[in-house]
Each structure stands twice: as C-alpha cells, then as structure tokens.
Amino acid sequence: AGGAFAALSLLPARGGEPGGGAAARQPRQALSSVMFAELPLKDFCAEAAKLAFKGIDLWSPYGECRHLAEAEELGAEGFKKLLKTHGLEVGAWTTYRTKGNQQGFPGFAEFIGACGGGVVVRESKYGKVGEEGLEAAMATFFEELKHEIELARKHKVRLAIENHSGAILDTLESFRMFTKLNPDPEVVGIALAPYHPQARKVPVEETIRACGNQLLFFYAWQKGRGTAQLPGHGPTDFKPWLQTLAEQKYAFWMTPFMHGELPVDEMAAAVTKAWKHLEPMRF
C-alpha cells in the first residue's frame, strides 16, 4: 500500500493546481499548437507568449503539425528551457493515434515524464455502440487501456480521454458510463470537446455535470465552420458553460479551439478575439 501511495503522490494533483491562490481555482487558457501547424515549435511558443497565453496544448504529429515531435528532438532540458524563455507551461500533451503517430501516448511517455508529466489527451475508441452494448464496450476500452494507465503512473501523467462523434465516448449516457466504470479516476479522466454534444443537440452543461470531477481538459469550442467554432465568433453563449464548470470546481486548463487552417496572422487575430471574449467570464 505504501508503494501505491508513493506512486500516486507523484501524479499531477487533482484540482488543476497550475499555480497557487485564486488562479489555481479557475481554468487558465492554453493555446493549441495544431492551430498554428505551419509554424516551427520555437516560433509557435513565441506566438503563444505574444498572444498572452501562459500555457500550450502541444500536439503530436497530426496533419502538418509536428510540435511534440520537435519538442522531443530538443530533449527534455532543451524543451523546458524553451518554455522558460517564453514563460509558458504545458497545459496538455495531445497524442492522438494518427498516420503520423501510430504509437500515441506510449511513443512519447518517457519524454513527457522527463518534462514533468501532466495531462495527456488521447482518443477513446472509434465505432458506434448502441445503449445495450455500451457498458461492455466501455469495460473493454478500459481493459485495453491498462498498459497506458501503468505508463501514466510511471511518468506522472493523467490520461484525458476525448469525446468524438463515431466513438464510444460520445453520447450523454456514455459519459455517465465512463465515470461509473473508470477503474482509476486518479489517473484517467475526460477531455471534453463541446462541439460534439452540440452536434447531437445535447446540452453541454449536462455533459459537464456528467463528467463531474473526472474532467481534466476543456475545449472552448462550439459547433460551426471556420472561425465560428471559436468563442466570441460563433453564436454560442459560453457563460453557462463556464458557470457549470465553476459549479463543478473545474480548475484545469481550457483552450479556445477550432479545426481548420488560416494564415498565422488571421489565426492570431481570431484567437485573440476568443481569448478576450472568454477572459471576463472566468470565475
């Protein structure tokens, strides 16, 4: 028991503690590197700092984005030096399995651990499941995740599983089943992308409540096209979402997010508008 407790104490603490005092009790904004895929890592970090972000969501190879791979090439000490230069922290490490990254989190686990660990975002399991098969499918997913849970403990990581259309973590009932069956809530939780519940016409506030204290990362991301996916651009009122996060005592990072490519200057302007839209709403 003593060994298990010692291992647990090395994990990022629950509650989001990115710092101390009041700032630790509310989400801070991280910039997702995939939105600036064309920039080299060093230039992306400089851009994040210029846009007043204190954190980054660093993506592994995804489309044209290679930022996590570039960080690994710098080595842990080199990357930490780069972060320090720009006054940045890693709010999340995003490690989806793609054609450019077949291994997902395990392929970067040692490097992430050497950098101090943190929240690692990854996919659930694709394939639609009906209500009658949901419990068995979720139990199988967690069984298959055991190796990564062990790696997460070893490298001071929490795994945040992202919801997605066409995946087993998608419906409101699937969020409830996830939190019910989660074998290790101290290590495994949820990265919530509201775009997908909105697409299903499920209230995002209900989804946040379904995640409860297993919510580890939050995308300020609405259903829309182009920049209309971002806060302050599309029609969604984000205040009820943030109020619900406050009710749940959510204190990790959030990222104003969109998929799609824009020239760097246009993306920077769009993200700045989103950042300024969200900042006064923070609790």
Q: How confident is the model at residue 104 (pLDDT cuts 50, 70, 90)?
A: very high
The DSSP-derived string for 77-112 is HHHHHHHHHHT-EEEEEE---BTTBSS-HHHHHHHH
Q: Provide the pLDDT for residue 235.
A: 96
Q: Is 169 helix (H, G, I), strand (E, B) or coil?
A: coil
For 21-55, the pLDDT digits (tens) are 444 457 889 999 999 999 999 999 999 999 999 99
For 179-237, the pLDDT digits (tens) are 999 999 999 999 999 999 999 999 999 999 999 999 999 999 999 999 999 999 999 99
Question: What letters, b where the CB count within 10 A reaches 16 and e where it falls short, cover 90-113?
Answer: bbbbbbbbeeebeebbebbbebbb
What is the Cα–Cα distance from 56 to 59, expressed in whole angstroms?
9
The owner of tokens 């989001």 is 16
Q: Are 169 and 161 a contacting pair, CB within 8 Å? A: yes
Instruction: Please name every residue paired with 28 in a beta bridge, in sequence order, or none if there are none.
Output: 253
Residue 146 pLDDT more than 60?
yes
Per the document, the length of the chain is 283
Q: Two tokens at 225?
A: 């096209």
More confident residue, 220 or 16: 220
Q: Provide the pLDDT for residue 221.
A: 97
Give the mean pLDDT of 97-126. 91
For 67-98, the pLDDT digits (tens) are 999 999 999 999 999 999 999 999 999 999 87
**Residue 131 burial by Cβ neighbours in a 10 Å radius (0-12, 13-18, 19+):** exposed
What is the Cα–Cα distance from 157 to 215, expressed in whole angstroms?
14
Distance of CA 272 to CAs 21, 219, 231, 242, Å? Answer: 26, 16, 10, 18
Going by C-alpha positions, the residue among 2, 27, 231, 193 that lies closest to residue 96 is: 193
Q: Provide the pLDDT for residue 185.
A: 97
Give the single-character DSSP code of 237: -
Q: Provide the pLDDT for residue 132.
A: 85
Q: How confident is the model at residue 283 (pLDDT cuts 50, 70, 90)?
A: low
Task: Using the Cα atoms of residue 50, residue 51, residue 57 and residue 60 in order, give the sign of their dihedral.
Answer: negative
Instruction: Please count the other Cβ atoms lying within 10 Å of the Cβ belonging to residue 33.
Output: 27
Q: Provide the pLDDT for residue 9.
A: 38
Q: Provide the pLDDT for residue 25.
A: 58
Q: Which of 100-104, 209-213, 255-259, 271-275 has the lowest mean pLDDT?
A: 100-104
Q: How confident is the model at residue 153 (pLDDT cuts 50, 70, 90)?
A: very high
**Residue 127 burial by Cβ neighbours in a 10 Å radius (0-12, 13-18, 19+):** exposed
Q: How confident is the model at residue 127 (pLDDT cuts 50, 70, 90)?
A: confident
Q: Provide the pLDDT for residue 282.
A: 62
Q: Provide the pLDDT for residue 244.
A: 95
Q: For residue 5, report the phi and psi dihedrals to the nearest 5 degrees.
A: -65, -40
